[in-house]
Structure 1
Amino acid sequence: MVTLYCAIVGAARNVFSVRVDESDSVHDLKKVIKAEKPNKILCDADELQLYLAKKVKGVVAEEEKGDDQKEWLTQLDALEGVSDTSGYKHLQFTDAELRDVGLDTGDLGECLFQGPLH
């Protein structure tokens, strides 16, 4: 099991966590998120658009954007509000396992006192 910290784009001060298994699919994650916030998320789970909250640091040429040049959005950043998803990876394939899209314990980041957002 892994704990993921989530935020709703356009809603400041709205960080919450969900627990899922690394072998769960993106669709399973959508259902868990919907169940956690039924009053905030008014669409069906399958209509949610999820993004991996990891973004390229600084100015890097497109072909040089390796995973080591990306950093997690922090909970502190999300509490201040996220309004733009450009630069984040859209998790569009609902049958993909979470471990295959960068959401397993080996890929998740830690930021002291700020905490990563996934």
Structure 2
Amino acid sequence: MAKVIALLAAKTDEVRVTHWRLLQTYHPRWHIFGQFGPNGGFWVTPPLVFKDVRRLVAEAANGKRYRLIGEPGLAATAASFVECCATFDARLACTVDVTVELLDLRRRMVGDGSVDSPGM
């Protein structure tokens, strides 16, 4: 099954993100924090819009698509990353982890299919 997922991601030019968290910055815009690619490091995306909440696929303003794989990572890891970034831009200290809200929205969509995917 992992090979099928990897092939799908490769064909659609999606970047696979594991150990992910969804963060809302002071802008307010949403960003994915996580491990990018199978051997990649932890980083954060540019601002994005969710294209498919059910499949957890988002797209950045530059057109790059990101697919969230597996369960979310540790909130503490994302918080540490944000804390480091806030050293350079103090406004980032008010960044909020909105992973729970995304998962709640996804659960409601998968449950009855009646919730529209919001542009975030």
TM superposition score normalised by structure 2: 0.30
Q: Normalized per residue, which structure has more strand? A: 2
Give the TM-score, by structure 1 length: 0.30
Which is richer in helix?
A: 2
